[in-house]
Amino acid sequence: MLGQLLHILAAAIVSWILFVTVDVFFRLPEAGGVSGASAIARDIEAGGGALSGGTMMGNIVCSPDASAGTLLAACGVYVAGIPGGLVAAALVFIGNRICHDPGYAGTTGAVLATFVVYGFTQVGFAATDFIAGMVIAILTIQGLSHAHASRLLARLWRVRQ
């Protein structure tokens, strides 16, 4: 039981680093790339958060980004190994096109997560550890405190610039 909890915690940390790094690399904190992202960012800023972090959070809500890609890839690996993760990446790509998302953060996140999750399954982790871990990682960005999460994302964005 304790071992599985540690695996989930480790998976949450790896997932968080993966999806935040991909989203920052694809410049999601810079501007709202899809409809609704800027409105969410302004609302978060009005609530005491950072505009650039709120923009990234708005992009996460409005289109499949690396967080959704990572979660779906973990589900795909759970169901069918690497081919399942790559099918999930293809579905994220289609979702991005439906949302008129000009970037490829979600697809890239899903492809990377497929191989990361599969790699961890080779050393004793389960894909389900990453499913649970990714839900926790998303919760830390979208569910606990918009103001604090947006400020953290804004600091990470300033480092990238």
Look at residue 135 in the predicted model and tell me its pLDDT.
94
Look at residue 66 in the predicted model and tell me its pLDDT.
85
DSSP string spanning 92-148?
HHHHHHHTT----HHHHHHHHHHHHHHHHHTTT--HHHHHHHHHHHHHHHHTS-HHH
Residues in the chain predicted with pLDDT less than 70, given as ranges, are 161
Q: DSSP secondary-structure letter at 31? A: S
Look at residue 112 in the predicted model and tell me its pLDDT.
96
Look at residue 161 in the predicted model and tell me its pLDDT.
67
Is this model's pTM higher than 0.85 or not? yes
Look at residue 71 in the predicted model and tell me its pLDDT.
93
Look at residue 45 in the predicted model and tell me its pLDDT.
94
Cβ-based neighbours of 1, under 8 Å, separated by 6 or more? none
Can you tell me the distance from the alpha carbon of 74 to that of 134, in angstroms, rounded to the nearest whole number?
8
Site of tokens 């993760």: 85
